[in-house]
Structure 1
Amino acid sequence: MSSTEDIDIEKKNVVAPSTGDGASTPATVALSIEPKAGNDLGPPPDGGFDAWITVFGGFCASFVQFGLANAFGVFQAYYKTHQLAHYSSSTISWIGSVQQFILFFGGLFSGRLFDAYGAKALLVPGTCLFVLAIMMTSLCKEYYQFMLAQGILFGIGSAMIFHPTVSAPSQWFERKRALATSIVVAGSGLGGTLWPIALERLMNEIGFGWALRTAGFLSLALLGVAVACVRTRLPRRKAQSFAGLLSPLKEAHFTLLAVGVALASWGMFMPFFFVTTHAAQLGAGSNLAFYSLSILNAGSTLGRGFAGVADKFGRLNSITLGASLTGILLLAFWIPLNSVPALLAFAPIYGFVAGIIISLVPPSVAQMSLPHQIGARVGLTYGIMAFFTLSGPPINGALLSAGGGGRKGFQYAGAFSGAVVFAGAVCIFTARLKINKKLLAVV
């Protein structure tokens, strides 16, 4: 299957039979084949001002929204020694878990609304809620306050920003879909690299409250740019009914991909939450421990950008490889880590391979979808993923506690996370074989 065939499915209105060798023809990549809707705009232009300005706007939004979400490891370590010192690591991590759960689960709602009403209908209120959440977090002192502001409100605002910005490029790009999405998602890696450094400096110099308020004003400016830049190509249409929202799960290849991504997410975010804590446990100073998360996110930035090569080698091929390597690194490198230099070497490599997975979820789902269904199906995938991201950090936090807060606890977390990521890689590879059984095919 060529990289252009598998995304030209909207031009067909029948499902082609499988070929004799077990490989599916391009039409079977679609979850459902239906006649084109009215207002046919033709294939995506794969370029032009509106297309690339959408990518730029998405990059800015991703830098702020997912960048700050990726920086939760800094908050995890800070709360453990300041406002929430009398709470366990597992309990504190629930704040970040709830934040991620709402971010991803919100795709069930924001994805279908994006398909119907476009990006700005979500980005404008999402920006207001997101900035309000940061400002309210700056005033928090008690656990329930952090949960309400940084967990729930931040998650709702994030869901309204994240899903339209990762779905919009697929309306504008076809052959360069993975490249465009990887540029957008690379913003989150860059944000995850710079935000921890900035927050750590600001917390030390001007205090927690004003550090968060400064972050809030910067977020408002960059999200304003995103609101102005992100464009929707397809015309408005009636929102998909909730009854039909789960219909893609009838397709085996979509279900396998969604479950595989969910299993991978169950484990792959563990270092993003606990690398700072692990560095401190190994004897790193407070500054170096904070920087370890930035190093991890720097590697992730490169991986998310590198994911653009998937347009040439196949998006499902590439995401399978990324998940497999992530599992290997957790099992073979995280578990035996016993020094700060080893952790600092592990961090950028792990971030790189995990970044490939993060970038390729939207384009992998998009190549199984009709253009006007991309938002809903990407949202459904993230909605399934949400339940795993909700429980992953607390499970790993509990494993740390079971190990007495020492090295053994981090080994337990590495074993669990590596195993579930590997299981996810198997599911994704099976989905790829459902589409084309030829191992060397570009899928």
Structure 2
Amino acid sequence: MAGGPTHLDSARGWVTACGAALSVMAAFGTIYSFNAFAKSMATEFGTGHGPISLVFGITVFLFFGSAVVSGRLYDRFGIAPLLVIGGSMFCGGLFAMSHVSVLWHGYVLFGVGLGFGGGLFNAPLFALTAMWFARHRAVAQGLVATGSGLGTMLFAPLAQWLLEIHGWRGGMRVLAIVAAGIFVTALFMIKRPPKMEMGDAARHVALVVRSAPFWQMAIAGIFFTVAVIGSLGSVVTFAQDDGLPARAAVALFTIIGFASIVGRMALTSLARPLGSVRLLKIAFFGLPIAYTVWFFTTRVGGLEAKFVLLIVFASILGVSYGGFVALLGDVTAHLFGLAGLGAVMGMLFFSSGTGALFGPPLMGFTADATGGIGLPIVIAGLIAAVGVAVLLPMTRHPVPLPTYVGPPGVSPPRPAPLAASPPRPLVPPQSVMRGPNGETVAPMIRPVADPLTAAQSLPLSAALRGAPPEVFWPTLVEGASEQNGATAPVAVADLARSN
């Protein structure tokens, strides 16, 4: 629209989204390839499921949890420094992990290097993509999230092939080189969008944190990742313990990756007609169904029937997981607006990371203690069901928080009357006041205030009761006085959709 931000939904934005997808692919794919190496590492170090799964849990916790820091760093410094520093930590930690002689060293090198290093740029990439798009934001977010599905689908068989040729140590070294090449390529594709004025972002974030939908998303995210990341960290090992050959077990991870891509693209393509909030709830609802199928596989005797049921489980899990990752950014922007988006998404990623810290060791140590995989699966299914119960009541409408988006250095504009508009009476006839003896009394006229400024001055309870705000971009009103620089706010179309 005339006078609006021209970078929204531009070709440059799509190039940036593709670069972000490559980075996400390398990060997720490399971290999840740990599952292909886990059995060999457990044998070499003489441990059970629990200690090895703790490496994966710490890594994923830091990968998501560091977003509470990286989101704010992105808002201040942009994406390039985070990708350079984080990518260097990521590849360096993976290379160093291949030389460890004691398992606890892996908690530090793999966990801090890949977890914290990857987390420096993971959440900011989703926030960055959201800032490039308005009309096609959900599809663009789905494209970036597809990177994690591609990584899961492609890196798992690659890791298994490297394991058979070079062992787990040599395989990690090769993956470090592959990841470094992808990060360098993505760095040339990614660009920060033109700066836009966001008003008081810190106050906006403070209001977001005090809203009920934020806590519903955060708490549901914890339960979701306890179940999902716990499953991703154990599905290959559990399948092998249940009798499947190593290649068939790793193939389940490939199926999860492929299904997550299908889920990302299918659900984000339906975001405009059905609403991304509604679809996020559907993605959550798929988890209890997936764990019910997984539990039944432990009660089936034949390997062929067991493998078929595991494919069904992996497909449902992949669609649910893919939908959650793909829709999170769009739902966050829809509910809370663009102001301080990096910080808000960082806090939501942190909550997810908290769940990831407990999921893998919970399932691993429970399997060690019980000598079977049935109870860990039941626990994961119950946890997922609690997450569904928390998220289902969440509103589908934007939280009415005052915000403003526009060019840098420009204050929120005040509406200017059109020159051609006929003057309106200050006091409507029906509002004329009469005294006790019938005489005319001068009425009390409330001064007209800028609705945006008035909304910002409201207390939280009053602000939350009003209609959701629009995002404004100042543009010259036809017929207004150009010499006085009169402007009027025009609503940007990216919030004018039903969720």
TM range, smaller chain:
0.7 to 0.9
Change (3 A) 1:213 1:227: same
Distance 2:174 2:109 in 1: 16
1:379 aligned onto 2:336: no
Distance in structure 2 (CA, Å) of the matches to 1:69 and 1:242: 33
Q: Aligned equivalents of 1:171 and 1:219: distance in 2?
A: 26
Letter in 1 for 2:393: T
Equivalent residue number for residue 3 of structure 1: none
Match among 326, 330, 333 for residue 287 of structure 2: 326
- Verify: 1:148 aligned to 2:131, yes or no: no
**Residue 343 of structure 1 pairs with residue 310 of structure 2:** yes
Q: CA deviation at 1:239?
A: 13
Residue of structure 2 equivalent to 1:421: 384
| Identity %, equivalent residues | 21
CA RMSD of aligned residues (A): 2.5
Task: Work out which of the residue numbers 351, 370, 389 in structure 2 matches 1:403.
Answer: 370
Query: 1:288-337 CA deviation, whole Å, 9 max, x = no partner?
Result: 2222222222212221222312233111100100101112221x211111
Query: Separation in 2 of the partners of 1:326 and 1:111?
Result: 28
How high is the TM-score relative to the length of structure 1?
0.83
> Which residue among 240, 250, 254 is the counterpart of 1:280?
240
Deviation at 1:237, TM superposition (A): 8.5
Q: 1:425 is aligned with what amino acid?
A: V
> Is 1:78 matched with 2:40?
yes
- Mapped pair 1:59 → 2:26: no
User: Does residue 134 in structure 1 map to residue 94 in structure 2?
Assistant: yes
8 Å Cα contact 1:130-1:158 kept in structure 2: yes
Aligned to 2:185: 225
User: Greater helix percent: which structure?
Assistant: 1
Aligned to 1:117: 77
Q: Which residue of 1 aligns with 2:264?
A: 304
Give the SS at the match of 1:328. helix
Shift of 1:243: 9.7
- Residue 366 of structure 1: aligned partner: 333
**What is the CA–CA distance in structure 2 between the aligned matches of 1:129 and 1:354, rounded to whole Å?**
26
Q: 1:250 aligns with which of 200, 210, 215?
A: 210
Q: Say how many residue pairs are matched.
A: 393
**Given the superposition, is the C-alpha separation of residues 246 and 154 from structure 1 closer, same or farther in structure 2, using an over 3 Å criterion?**
farther
Shift of 1:373: 1.1
Which residue identity is paired with 1:135?
Answer: F
Deviation at 1:207, TM superposition (A): 2.8
Residue 340 of structure 1, CA deviation: 2.8
- Tell me the distance in 1 between the aligned counterparts of 2:200 and 2:99: 39
Are the equivalent residues in 1 in contact too, given 2:7–2:194 (CA < 8 A)? no
Structure 1 residue 166: deviation in Å?
1.4
Q: What residue identity is the alignment partner of 1:412?
A: L
Q: Distance in 1 between matches of 2:63 and 2:245?
A: 32
Amino acid at match of 1:428: L
- Cα distance 1:288–1:124, how it changes in 2: closer, same or farther (>3 A)? same
What letter is aligned with 1:371? Answer: L
Q: 1:126·1:158 contact (CA, 8 Å) conserved in 2?
A: yes
Q: 1:211 to 1:72 in 2, by over 3 A?
A: closer
The structural deviation recorded for 1:213 is 1.6
Aligned match of 1:164 in 100, 124, 135? Answer: 124
CA contact (8 A) 2:204 2:339 kept: no
Contact 1:280 1:286 in 2 (8 A): yes
Q: Deviations over 1:337-372 (max 9, x none)?
A: 132332133222321222111211121112123324
Distance of 1:261 and 1:395 partners within structure 2: 17
- Extract unaligned runs of 5+ from structure 2: 301-305, 400-496
> TM-score, normalization: structure 2?
0.74
Between 177-186 and 365-374, report the one with greater CA deviation.
Answer: 365-374
Change in 2 beyond 3 A, CA 1:367/1:276: same
Contact 2:205–2:340 (CA under 8 A) maintained in structure 1: no
1:190 and 2:157 matched: no
- For residues 246-270 of structure 1, what are the alpha-carbon distances to aligned partners after superposition, in whole Å with 9 as ceiling and x for unaligned? 5522111111122112221121223
> Cα gap change, 1:208/1:397 in structure 2, threshold over 3 Å: closer, same or farther?
closer
* Alignment match, 1:356: 323
- Contact 1:67 1:188 (8 Å CA) reproduced: yes
Query: Take 1:314 and 1:238, find their aligned partners in 2: how far apart are those partners?
Result: 25
Q: CA shift at 1:245, angstroms?
A: 6.1
Aligned residue for 1:165, secondary structure, equals helix
What CA deviation, in whole Å up to 9, does each residue of 1:96-144 have, x standing for no partner? 1111111111111110111122111211111111111111112123102
- Superposed CA offset, 1:51-75 (max 9, x none): 0011110111011001222333223
Between the aligned partners of 1:269 and 1:311, the Cα distance in structure 2 is 29
Asked if 2 retains the 8 angstrom alpha-carbon contact of 1:303 and 1:356, the reply is yes
Q: Indicate if the aligned counterparts of 1:166 and 1:184 stay in contact, CA closer than 8 A.
A: yes
Q: For 2:351, what is the secondary structure of its paired residue?
A: helix
Q: Which residue of 2 aligns with 1:290?
A: 250
Are 1:179 and 1:311, in contact at CA under 8 Å, matched by a contact in 2? no
Contact 2:294/2:309 (<8 A) preserved: no
Q: Is the 8 A contact 1:102 1:386 kept in 2?
A: yes
Distance 1:259 1:195, change over 3 A: same
Give the 3 Å change call, closer, same or farther, for CA 44–118 of structure 1 in structure 2.
farther
Structure 1 residues not aligned, in runs of 5+: 1-40
Contact 1:320–1:425 (CA<8 Å) still a contact in 2? yes
Q: 1:313 aligns with which of 254, 274, 277?
A: 274
